Structure 1
Amino acid sequence: MSFGKDLVKLVKLRLTFLVVFSASISFLIGSQIVTATNVNGVINWVNWAKLIVGGFLITGAANGFNEIIEKDLDRLMTRTADRPLPAGRMTNGQALVLSLLMGMGGTYLLGSLNLLTGFLSVFAILLYAFVYTPLKQKSPISVFVGAIPGALPPLIGYVAANPTIDQIALILFGIQFIWQFPHFWAIAWVLDDDYKLAGFRLLPTGKRDRVSAVITFVFTLVLVPVSLLPTFYKFGGYYVGGVSLVMSLIFLYQAFVLMRTLEIKSARKLMFGSFLYLPVVQLMFLFDFLGKK
Structure 2
Amino acid sequence: MTIVRDILDLIKVRILFSALLTTVLGYFLAVDSASFDVLFLFWLCLGLGFIFSSAAAINHVMEVGTDALMDRTQNRPLVKKRISLLSFWIGVLVLLLFGTAILYIKFNLMVLVLSLFILIFYDVVYTPLKKITVLNTWIGAFPGAMPVLCGWFSVRDDLDFLIIVIFSIYYWWQLPHFFAIAWMNKESYLNAGLKMMSVDDKGGHKTAFHLCLSTFIFLVFLTLPFFFNYVGYIYFIPLMGLSILFCYYIFLFCIHKTVLASKKILFCSILYPPLILLFIVLDSLV
TM-score over 0.5 (shorter chain)? yes
- Which position in structure 1 is the counterpart of 2:51? 58
- Which position in structure 1 is the counterpart of 2:230? 235
From 90, 95, 98, give the equivalent of 2:91.
98
Q: Does 1:219 align with 2:214?
A: yes
Deviations 1:185-227 (A, max 9, x none): 1111111112222111223674351121111111111112110
* Alpha-carbon distance between aligned partners in 1 of 2:225 and 2:11, rounded to the nearest angstrom: 32
Is the 1:75–1:81 contact (alpha carbons within 8 Å) kept by the matching residues of 2? yes
Is the 1:62–1:125 contact (alpha carbons within 8 Å) kept by the matching residues of 2? yes
* Alpha-carbon distance between aligned partners in 2 of 1:163 and 1:3, rounded to the nearest angstrom: 41
Is the 1:10–1:67 contact (alpha carbons within 8 Å) kept by the matching residues of 2? yes
Provide the secondary structure at the position in 2 that maps to 1:228: helix
From 163, 168, 184, give the equivalent of 1:169.
163
Residues 104-123 of structure 1 aligned to structure 2 (within 5 Å)? 104-111=97-104, 112-123=106-117
Deviations 1:70-101 (A, max 9, x none): 11111111111111111111233332222222
CA RMSD of aligned residues (A): 1.8
Is the 1:108–1:118 contact (alpha carbons within 8 Å) kept by the matching residues of 2? no
* Alpha-carbon distance between aligned partners in 1 of 2:230 and 2:103, rounded to the nearest angstrom: 26
* Alpha-carbon distance between aligned partners in 2 of 1:206 and 1:16, rounded to the nearest angstrom: 30
* Alpha-carbon distance between aligned partners in 1 of 2:284 and 2:140, rounded to the nearest angstrom: 29
Deviations 1:145-183 (A, max 9, x none): 110010011221222233433222212211100000001
Q: Does 1:159 align with 2:153?
A: yes
Q: Does 1:139 align with 2:133?
A: yes
- Which position in structure 2 is the counterpart of 1:35? none
Q: Which runs of 5 or more residues in structure 1 are unaligned?
A: 33-39
Is the 1:236–1:289 contact (alpha carbons within 8 Å) kept by the matching residues of 2? yes
* Alpha-carbon distance between aligned partners in 1 of 2:157 and 2:51, rounded to the nearest angstrom: 19
Is the 2:149–2:167 contact (alpha carbons within 8 Å) kept by the matching residues of 1? yes
- Which position in structure 2 is the counterpart of 1:183? 177
Counting matched residue pairs gives 284
* Alpha-carbon distance between aligned partners in 2 of 1:196 and 1:120, rounded to the nearest angstrom: 33
Amino acid at match of 2:53: G
- Which position in structure 2 is the counterpart of 1:271? 266
Deviations 1:96-144 (A, max 9, x none): 2222221222232233221111111011000001100011111110001
Amino acid at match of 2:27: F
Provide the secondary structure at the position in 2 that maps to 1:77: coil
- Which position in structure 2 is the counterpart of 1:247? 242
**TM-fit CA distance, 1:41:** 3.7
- TM-score, normalisation: structure 2: 0.93
Q: Which runs of 5 or more residues in structure 2 are unaligned?
A: none
Q: Percent identity?
A: 28
Is the 2:177–2:269 contact (alpha carbons within 8 Å) kept by the matching residues of 1? yes
* Alpha-carbon distance between aligned partners in 2 of 1:161 and 1:248, rounded to the nearest angstrom: 31
Moved more, 275-284 or 174-183: 275-284
* Alpha-carbon distance between aligned partners in 2 of 1:205 and 1:229, rounded to the nearest angstrom: 34
* Alpha-carbon distance between aligned partners in 1 of 2:84 and 2:78, rounded to the nearest angstrom: 6
- TM-score, normalisation: structure 1: 0.90
Provide the secondary structure at the position in 2 that maps to 1:140: coil
- Which position in structure 2 is the counterpart of 1:16? 16
* Alpha-carbon distance between aligned partners in 1 of 2:102 and 2:214, rounded to the nearest angstrom: 35
